[in-house]
Structure 1
Amino acid sequence: MDKVFKALSDATRRHLLDRLYVNNGQTLSELCDGLAMSRQAATQHLALLEAANLVSTTRRGREKLHYLNPVPLHEIQERWIDKFERPRLRTLSALKRKAEHAMSDKPQFVYTTYIEATADKVWEALTDPETTAAYWGHSNVSDWQPGSAWEHRRTDGSGIADVVGTVVEAIPGKRLVFTWAGPDEDRPDGPSTVTFDLRPLGDSVVRLTVTHENLRDEEEHRQASGGWSAVLSNLKTYVETGKPLSSPPWS
């Protein structure tokens, strides 16, 4: 939390967050446009915001896009504001939805978490059927080769897959991309796409960024937001402690 307050203490960094609120998913050049600062200075400010988990990044081709991550702000609200003014300031979720939908051709949901583990361990947690069953309640089954099918199977022995898709990209320990849709789902605009980006920070910490694109509407966005938050919290706990949360967060 100290990093969050340090990041927010500077007016320039607050202005950068304001710009991402208005138009989420901007490149460094876009954020620098109209500001009296060099790219190097902006990069330093963004690095502090990213270290505080207030900004998440993802790459699309050669571009690095920056996204507002309101989760730390929400934690501040709950700890120091919400308990005194519960009827007010319930706008963070709306802020997040607006920011993520600002440009339809950019990722619609981005979530970043930090896990105390190696990249190989986190990769295993995403792709190993037994491990995914332990913290997700479903087994992710595939050979994880580009072009191969994958299934999100129930663990009740029925073998039913609630989600299916195709592996788009798989770089062990670094990046996993696959399509996501119900087995009989009619999606005129095509399936949504989920991307896991793993970035080691030293030898024992991984920054995991999940991007879920091509969500159809506000309801699907709401479901994705709640679902991924729960799953990733359980994943982090399982990888770091060897066991999931005592109560499934989605229940």
Structure 2
Amino acid sequence: MDKVFKALADDTRRRLLDRLHEDNGQTLGELCERIAMTRQSVTQHLAVLEAANLISTVRRGREKLHYLNPVPLHEIQERWIDKFERPRLSVLGALKRRAEEAMTDKPSFVYVTYVASTPEKVWEALTDPDLTAAYWGGRNISDWRPGSRWEHVCTDGPGDAVVVGEVVESEPPTRLVTTWVDPRNEGREDMCSRVTYDIAPYEDIVRLTVTHEDLWDEGALSDISNGWPAVLSNLKSLLETGRAMPQEPWLMPNR
């Protein structure tokens, strides 16, 4: 949290966050256009924001796209604002505004979390059927080779797959890319999205970045914006404590 407050103390860095709030997923060049500062200086400010986990970055070809990460701001809200009974800053409100913006060809949703674990264990948690059943409510089933089919099969009910797709890239234990589609819409490219898991080790911890792109409508964006934080929080709990949360977090009502 000290890094977050330090990052927010600078006016330039706050303006950079404002620019990303207005138009998420910008390149360095795009951010520099509205900041009267050299590229080197802007790069240094972005590095401070990334170190504080206030922004995340995703490579798209030769470009590096920058995204606002609201999680640290939400943590500040819970610790320093809610207890003083100030009006609650609604994370869902921010997600709603993002959903109302025009869809682009940039990644539609990016979520970053840090896990006290190893890349190998995070990879296993994403791909092992028994582990995914423990924290995700379904078994991820595949041989995880490029071109192979994968399925997310619910552990309760008749055992039908609720999500299917193809493994696009598989580089254990650092990168996994899959397509993502409801089985009822299989074969429809306009209803198929894409999920990328990037697993980056740093000493004794791992940064897991999940990018969900090519979503077909605003309803899908809203659904995954609520679902991914719950699933990944449960994964983090399982790997760090040895057990998932006692309740399924994605069933918690939004207020």
Q: Please report the TM-score for the alignment, with normalisation by the length of structure 1.
A: 0.91
Query: What residue in structure 2 maps to residue 94 of structure 1?
Result: 93
Superposition RMSD in Å: 2.0
Q: Contact 1:109–1:221 (CA<8 Å) still a contact in 2?
A: yes
Q: Is the alpha carbon distance of 1:65 and 1:75 closer, same or farther for their aligned partners in structure 2, counting shifts above 3 Å?
A: same
Q: Contact 1:141–1:150 (CA<8 Å) still a contact in 2?
A: yes
Instruction: From the two aligned structures, give the one with the greater helix fraction.
Output: 2
1:116 aligns with 2:116: yes
Query: What residue in structure 2 maps to residue 72 of structure 1?
Result: 72
For 1:102-141, list aligned pairs within 5 A. 104-141=104-141
Partner SS state of residue 36, structure 1: coil
Query: What residue in structure 1 maps to residue 221 of structure 2?
Result: 221
Query: What residue in structure 2 maps to residue 150 of structure 1?
Result: 150
Q: Is the alpha carbon distance of 1:72 and 1:29 closer, same or farther for their aligned partners in structure 2, counting shifts above 3 Å?
A: same
Alpha-carbon deviation of 1:20? 0.7
- One-letter amino acid of the counterpart of residue 191, structure 1: C
Query: What residue in structure 2 maps to residue 180 of structure 1?
Result: 180
Q: Contact 1:24–1:102 (CA<8 Å) still a contact in 2?
A: no
| 234-243 or 79-88, which deviates more | 79-88
**Partners of 1:83 and 1:156 in 2: CA distance:** 38
Q: Which runs of 5 or more residues in structure 1 are unaligned?
A: none
Alpha-carbon deviation of 1:36? 3.0
- One-letter amino acid of the counterpart of residue 207, structure 1: R
Q: Please report the TM-score for the alignment, with normalisation by the length of structure 2.
A: 0.90
Identity %: 64
Size of the aligned set, in residue pairs, is: 249
**Partners of 1:88 and 1:157 in 2: CA distance:** 37
Q: Which runs of 5 or more residues in structure 2 are unaligned?
A: none
Partner SS state of residue 250, structure 1: helix
1:198 aligns with 2:199: yes
Alpha-carbon deviation of 1:190? 3.7
Alpha-carbon deviation of 1:94? 3.2
Q: Contact 2:191–2:215 (CA<8 Å) still a contact in 1?
A: no
**Partners of 1:157 and 1:221 in 2: CA distance:** 26
- One-letter amino acid of the counterpart of residue 127, structure 2: T
Alpha-carbon deviation of 1:50? 1.1
Query: What residue in structure 2 maps to residue 35 of structure 1?
Result: 35
| 180-189 or 232-241, which deviates more | 180-189
Q: Contact 2:191–2:216 (CA<8 Å) still a contact in 1?
A: no
Alpha-carbon deviation of 1:15? 1.1
Alpha-carbon deviation of 1:125? 0.7
- One-letter amino acid of the counterpart of residue 174, structure 1: T
1:238 aligns with 2:238: yes
